[in-house]
């Protein structure tokens, strides 16, 4: 099997590009300043940054490190630079030229919400900023390591056109598959050097950084390590400016240090509250809310909804230990999402009894004064007949044993 730079050819001889990785997995993330500290631990160059929680502290930091300086909102969402604050309509990444300008901007950033294409419609609250001295950039690169779940192996993604527009240039990404135990081999490094035209001195540093990234990826149970941008400065040095890291949620027991760095105030409220109840909730881009039990059924349901022209607003798996309390919370989360125009509940009663599901649906409806959107329920399995008997109410349609 070829690895470095491998491509797949279609019948017409044209190169088949793998699309972005869109399959969802349970993961947890760290704020940017924590990711920078991890990079430092693994000898990967980053700017010397400072975390502030008040406009006064922002002014003091810029006074001490000098201007121009970069101020970044710390939330667990991408697109901060192109986002908009609910205070002054400006973005979440700003360059300031004086301590007073830092104070003024921080006054409109800390304590307000930032809306990006990856946040809920109301945005996410910003409680702190990350500040470092501005870097004079000669060239921006994109570097990431993740898993290719179609090939069952890790892949290094690189582009010499990094920065805020990388998502619109995914076809320019070069992919280098590698073995997790051997990492970036001399053969892969040579292929990278040929593709990107690095000088010998630069390539020695690039190889060091990539090998350290692989080490971090392996030792910390990461699912994504993204450096964007990774830059060459006008002075010729290589440095990571921004970092986004995701880690395997199932490996938390092996990573107590990382778990201690989680900051739930910076993440989406619904995802955090769902996780506290043992629910797997992932926000998607559609308008049909979905509640299921079991990841396999969840993915099959999502596929079928999409096949028939719909788009799911979420992935919400109540699991096998669902209770009336967790179901009530699930309904509350989805009904509170203004994007959700209909709700599809698809339950296979194995461990979970279908009559308990029906009772929970009716109890949740009564508690909320009725559902404000149409609800379709499919029940199969244990006690589905009792579940069917319990329930036909306005805006509620039960389909059982189909």
Radius of gyration of the chain (CA): 24
Find out whether 251 and 19 touch, Cβ atoms under 8 Å: no
Q: Which two tokens stand for residue 314?
A: 């979420």
State how beta strands 84-85 and 113-115 pair.
antiparallel
What's the CA gap between 370 and 376, in Å, rounded? 14
Spell out where 298-401 has E strands.
314-317, 342-349, 375-381, 396-400
What's the CA gap between 285 and 303, in Å, rounded? 14
Of 3, 101, 226, 267, the catalytic one is: 226
Cβ within 8 Å of residue 214, ≥6 positions away:
145, 154, 178, 180, 183, 184
Residue listed under structure tokens 């450096």? 227
Find out whether 282 and 60 touch, Cβ atoms under 8 Å: no
Find out whether 145 and 225 touch, Cβ atoms under 8 Å: yes
What's the CA gap between 340 and 356, in Å, rounded? 24
Distance of CA 181 to the CA centre of its chain: 26
Instruction: Determine if the peptide bond prior to 222 is cis (ω within 30°).
Output: no
Among the listed residues 216, 226, 220, the one whose alpha carbon sits nearest the alpha carbon of residue 78: 226
Concerning whether 281 is annotated as a catalytic residue, the answer is no
Concerning whether 15 is annotated as a catalytic residue, the answer is no
Report the chain's terminal Cα–Cα distance, integer Å. Answer: 45
Helices assigned H by DSSP within 90-185: 99-107
Q: Find the angle CA(112)-CA(73)-CA(57) to the nearest 5 degrees.
A: 85
Of 85, 130, 132, 142, the catalytic one is: 142
DSSP letter, residue 267: S
Among the listed residues 252, 247, 346, 333, the one whose alpha carbon sits nearest the alpha carbon of residue 296: 346
Residue listed under structure tokens 């990826």? 217
Q: Which residues are catalytic?
A: 142, 226
């Amino acid at each position: 099997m070829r690895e470095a730079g491998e491509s797949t050819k279609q019948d017409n001889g044209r190169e088949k590009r793998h699309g972005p990785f869109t399959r969802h997995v349970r993961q947890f993330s760290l704020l940017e300043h924590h990711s920078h500290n991890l990079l430092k631990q693994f000898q990967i160059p980053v700017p010397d940054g400072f975390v502030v929680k008040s406009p006064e502290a922002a002014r003091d930091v810029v006074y001490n490190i000098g201007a121009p300086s970069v101020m970044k909102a710390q939330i667990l969402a991408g697109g901060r630079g192109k986002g908009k604050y609910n205070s002054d309509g400006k973005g979440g990444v700003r360059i300031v030229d004086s301590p007073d300008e830092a104070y003024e901007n921080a006054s409109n950033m800390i304590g307000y919400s930032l809306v990006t294409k990856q946040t809920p419609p109301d945005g996410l609250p910003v409680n702190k900023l990350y500040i470092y001295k501005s870097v004079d950039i000669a060239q921006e690169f994109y570097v990431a390591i993740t898993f290719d779940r179609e090939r069952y192996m890790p892949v290094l993604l690189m582009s010499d056109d990094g920065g805020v527009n990388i998502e619109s240039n995914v076809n320019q990404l070069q992919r280098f598959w590698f073995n997790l135990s051997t990492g970036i081999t001399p053969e892969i490094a040579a292929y990278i050097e040929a593709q990107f035209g690095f000088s010998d001195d630069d390539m020695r540093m690039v190889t060091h950084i990539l090998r350290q990234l692989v080490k971090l990826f392996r030792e910390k149970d990461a699912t994504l390590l993204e450096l964007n941008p990774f830059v060459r400065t006008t002075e010729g040095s290589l440095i990571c400016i921004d970092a986004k890291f995701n880690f395997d949620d199932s490996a938390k027991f092996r990573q107590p240090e990382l778990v201690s760095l989680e900051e739930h105030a910076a993440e989406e409220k619904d995802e955090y509250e769902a996780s506290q109840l043992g629910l797997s909730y992932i926000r998607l881009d559609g308008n049909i809310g979905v509640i299921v039990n079991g990841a396999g059924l969840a993915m099959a349901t999502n596929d079928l909804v999409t096949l028939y022209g719909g788009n799911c607003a979420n992935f919400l798996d109540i699991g096998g230990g669902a209770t009336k309390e967790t179901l009530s919370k699930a309904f509350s989360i989805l009904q509170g999402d203004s994007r959700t125009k209909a709700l599809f509940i698809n339950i296979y009663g194995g461990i979970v009894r279908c009559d308990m599901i029906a009772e929970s649906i009716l109890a949740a409806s009564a508690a909320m004064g009725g559902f404000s959107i149409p609800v379709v329920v499919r029940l199969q399995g244990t006690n589905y007949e009792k579940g069917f008997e319990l329930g036909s109410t306005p805006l509620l349609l039960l389909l059982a044993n189909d």
